[in-house]
C-alpha cells in the first residue's frame, strides 16, 4: 500500500491508547490534562473485564486503591465497592473529562512507518479504519480469556470458566476447581445460595496465607463442619454430563494414576485467566518467559519498539504470581507521560494523603 497517497485521509493523533480499562482511562486523563492529543480505543466497552464479574461481586481492595486520576471513590459504607459501582465510576470519569473514547473499535494492527510514525488499523462494525500517531500505549490488561485445562468435556454446556452468581446452582451439585480467592468466594456464595458444593484443588491443602482472611475463616468453618466436600491434591482430567474424573497429583502438576469420580450437575473451572499478547507480538515487541511478558524499560515503560509503551497489568503478561494491579500501576502512567511530555502528572491514584496516591518523590525514586 502506498501510504503517501492516503495520508490526508487518515486521522492523526499524537498518542493512541489501546485498552479502556482503569489505567488506560487514567492515562487518557493525564494526557488530556497535559494538553497532549490522544485517542483511547477499546475493543468492547470500558472496564470490560468488570462486566464479566457476577452480580454483587466486590473488590478485595478498599476504594482508595482503585481510585484514578485523583478522583476519589466514595461509597455509603466506606467498604470495598462492587463491580457495578466501579463501572459507574469509570463512566463518570469518561463523562467528567469528556475523553476522546472509541468504544467497540478493536485495534487489529500496529505498523511502524518509515517516517517513524505508527499506522493503527482498527475494525469497528462499520469496516476498517486507519489512524496515524506518534506513540502507542498498549494497556490491554491481563484477563483476555480463561486459562483452559484442555481436557475432554471442558466445553460442555454445564461447564463454565466464569462464575455467573449463585442462583443457577440452586439445588444442584456443583464442583468448583481452583484454590484462589475467586474459586473460594464462588464456592461459598454458591453454598449459601443452596448448592451442594465440592472443591477440587491441585495442592494438598489450601494456602490460607494467600487467601483473604474473611474467606479463609469462612472456608475453614465449612470444611470443618463437613458442609463442603474437599478433594485435595487432585486435577480434573475428564468431564462428562454426569460426573468429573479427578486424578490425584504428586506435586500439584502431574497425575499419579489414582482416579476419583465425582457426580456433578455443574462444573466451575476457576483456573485463572490469560492475557492476549498477540497485538504486542505482531507489533514486534519482544515477549519473555512463560508469562509472555513484554520487554520494557521500567523507567519509561517503552518497549523494544521505539514509541510503543505498555501500561497496567499487561506489563506482566499472563501473571503467574500477581504483582501488577490497579493500585501498583499508577506509576506506569507517570513514567509514560513524563517520557512523552517531560512533565509528571499531578494527580494519580486517589486524592493526596491516601496511600494509593503517587507522589513526585515516588516517581523520582522509581
**Once rounded to an integer, what is the mean pLDDT over residues 211-215?**
91
Query: Among the listed ranges 56-65, 162-171, 226-235, which one has the minimum average pLDDT value?
Result: 56-65
Predicted pLDDT of residue 320: 78
Q: E strands of the chain, at which residues?
A: 12-18, 38-41, 101-102, 107-112, 118-122, 129-138, 145-146, 159-160, 173-177, 196-201, 229-232, 234-239, 243-249, 255-263, 266-269, 273-274, 287-288, 293-294, 308-310
**Once rounded to an integer, what is the mean pLDDT over residues 232-245?**
96
Q: Which domain holds residue 344?
A: 3-145+273-365
CB 232, CB 224: distance < 8 Å: no
Sign of the Cα torsion 85, 90, 95, 97 reads positive
Predicted pLDDT of residue 263: 97
Predicted pLDDT of residue 274: 92
CB 170, CB 196: distance < 8 Å: no
* Sequence-distant (≥ 6) Cβ neighbours of residue 234 within 8 angstroms: 200, 201, 202, 246, 247, 248, 249, 260
- Confidence tier at 349 by pLDDT (50, 70, 90): confident
CA distance 19 to 82: 21
> In this prediction, what percent of the chain has a pLDDT beyond 70?
93
* Residue 168 pLDDT exceeds 70: yes
- Tell me how many domains the chain contains: 2
Predicted pLDDT of residue 76: 83
Strands 129-138, 12-18: parallel, antiparallel or unpaired by DSSP?
parallel
> In this prediction, what percent of the chain has a pLDDT beyond 90?
75
Q: Helices (DSSP H) in the chain: which residue ranges?
A: 22-33, 48-51, 83-97, 181-192, 213-224, 278-282, 330-341, 360-365
The CATH number that applies at residue 40 is 3.50.50.60
Q: Do 24 and 80 fall within a single domain? A: yes
- Confidence tier at 2 by pLDDT (50, 70, 90): very low
CB 311, CB 332: distance < 8 Å: yes
The backbone torsions φ and ψ at residue 34, rounded to the nearest 5 degrees and listed phi first, read -85, 0
Structure-block grid coordinates of residue 190: 454458591
Q: Do 230 and 81 fall within a single domain? A: no
- Confidence tier at 358 by pLDDT (50, 70, 90): low
CA distance 103 to 157: 30
* Residue 8 pLDDT exceeds 80: no
Q: Do 8 and 108 fall within a single domain? A: yes
Q: Do 257 and 284 fall within a single domain? A: no
The helix/strand/coil state of 246 is strand
Among 245, 269, 293, residue at a domain's last position: 269
Of the two residues 1 and 304, the one the predictor is more confident about is 304
Return the DSSP state at 107: E
CA distance 205 to 211: 12
| pLDDT tens string 71-123 | 999 888 888 899 999 999 999 999 999 999 999 999 999 999 999 999 999 99
CB 308, CB 118: distance < 8 Å: yes
| pLDDT tens string 31-48 | 999 999 999 999 999 999
**Once rounded to an integer, what is the mean pLDDT over residues 225-245?**
96
Q: Do 72 and 46 fall within a single domain? A: yes
CA distance 34 to 265: 55
Structure-block grid coordinates of residue 10: 487518515
DSSP line for 120-143: EEE--TT--EEEEEEEEEE---S-
* Residue 356 pLDDT exceeds 80: no
| pLDDT tens string 123-132 | 999 999 999 9
Q: Do 141 and 281 fall within a single domain? A: yes
Predicted pLDDT of residue 333: 96
Q: Do 285 and 187 fall within a single domain? A: no
177 closest CA partner among 186, 168, 169: 186
Q: Do 162 and 32 fall within a single domain? A: no
Among 269, 286, 302, residue at a domain's last position: 269
Q: Do 7 and 139 fall within a single domain? A: yes
Predicted pLDDT of residue 227: 96
* Residue 363 pLDDT exceeds 50: no
Query: Among the listed ranges 49-63, 84-98, 189-203, which one has the minimum average pLDDT value?
Result: 49-63
pTM exceeding the 0.85 threshold for the entire prediction: yes
Strands 107-112, 118-122: parallel, antiparallel or unpaired by DSSP?
antiparallel
Q: Do 160 and 114 fall within a single domain? A: no
Helices (H) and strands (E) in the chain, counts: 8, 19
Q: Do 254 and 343 fall within a single domain? A: no
Query: Among the listed ranges 38-42, 265-269, 346-350, which one has the minimum average pLDDT value?
Result: 346-350
Predicted pLDDT of residue 355: 59
Among 269, 293, 324, residue at a domain's last position: 269
CB 357, CB 351: distance < 8 Å: yes
Mean pLDDT, the chain, rounded, equals 91
Burial of 365 from C-beta contacts in 10 A (0-12 / 13-18 / 19+): exposed
What number of residues does the chain have? 366
Predicted pLDDT of residue 335: 96
Q: Do 7 and 122 fall within a single domain? A: yes
Amino acid at each position: 500500500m502506498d501510504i503517501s497517497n492516503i495520508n490526508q485521509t487518515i486521522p492523526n493523533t499524537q498518542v493512541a491508547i489501546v485498552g479502556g480499562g482503569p489505567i488506560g482511562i487514567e492515562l487518557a486523563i493525564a494526557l488530556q490534562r497535559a494538553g497532549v492529543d490522544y485517542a483511547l480505543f477499546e475493543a468492547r466497552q470500558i472496564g470490560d473485564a468488570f462486566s464479566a464479574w457476577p452480580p454483587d461481586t466486590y473488590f478485595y481492595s478498599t476504594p482508595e486503591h482503585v481510585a484514578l486520576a485523583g478522583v476519589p471513590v466514595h461509597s455509603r459504607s466506606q467498604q470495598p465497592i462492587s463491580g457495578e459501582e466501579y463501572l459507574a465510576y469509570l463512566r463518570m470519569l469518561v463523562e467528567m473529562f469528556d475523553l476522546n473514547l472509541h468504544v467497540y473499535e478493536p485495534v487489529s494492527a500496529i505498523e511502524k512507518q518509515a517516517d517513524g510514525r505508527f499506522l493503527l488499523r482498527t475494525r469497528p462494525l462499520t469496516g476498517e479504519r486507519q489512524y496515524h500517531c506518534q506513540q502507542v500505549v498498549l494497556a490491554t490488561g491481563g484477563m483476555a480469556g480463561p486459562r483452559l485445562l484442555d481436557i475432554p468435556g471442558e466445553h460442555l454446556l454445564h461447564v463454565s470458566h466464569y462464575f455467573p452468581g449463585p442462583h443457577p446452582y440452586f439445588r444442584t451439585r456443583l464442583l468448583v476447581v481452583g484454590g484462589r480467592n475467586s474459586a473460594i468466594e464462588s464456592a461459598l456464595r454458591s453454598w449459601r445460595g443452596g448448592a451442594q458444593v465440592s472443591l477440587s484443588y491441585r495442592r494438598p491443602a489450601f494456602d490460607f496465607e494467600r487467601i483473604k482472611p474473611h474467606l479463609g475463616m469462612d472456608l475453614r468453618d465449612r470444611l470443618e463442619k463437613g458442609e463442603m466436600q474437599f478433594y485435595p491434591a487432585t486435577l480434573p482430567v475428564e468431564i462428562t454430563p454426569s460426573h468429573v474424573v479427578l486424578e490425584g497429583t504428586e506435586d500439584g502438576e502431574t497425575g499419579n494414576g489414582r482416579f476419583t469420580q465425582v457426580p456433578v450437575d455443574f462444573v466451575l473451572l476457576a483456573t485463572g485467566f490469560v492475557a492476549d499478547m498477540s497485538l504486542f507480538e505482531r507489533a514486534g515487541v519482544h515477549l519473555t518467559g512463560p508469562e509472555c511478558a513484554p520487554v520494557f524499560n521500567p523507567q519509561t515503560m517503552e518497549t523494544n519498539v521505539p514509541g510503543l509503551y505498555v501500561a497496567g497489568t499487561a506489563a506482566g503478561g499472563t501473571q503467574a504470581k500477581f504483582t501488577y494491579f490497579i493500585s501498583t500501576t499508577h506509576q506506569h502512567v507517570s513514567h509514560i507521560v513524563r517520557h512523552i511530555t517531560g512533565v509528571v502528572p499531578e494527580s494519580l491514584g486517589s486524592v493526596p494523603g491516601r496511600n494509593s496516591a503517587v507522589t513526585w518523590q515516588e516517581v523520582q525514586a522509581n
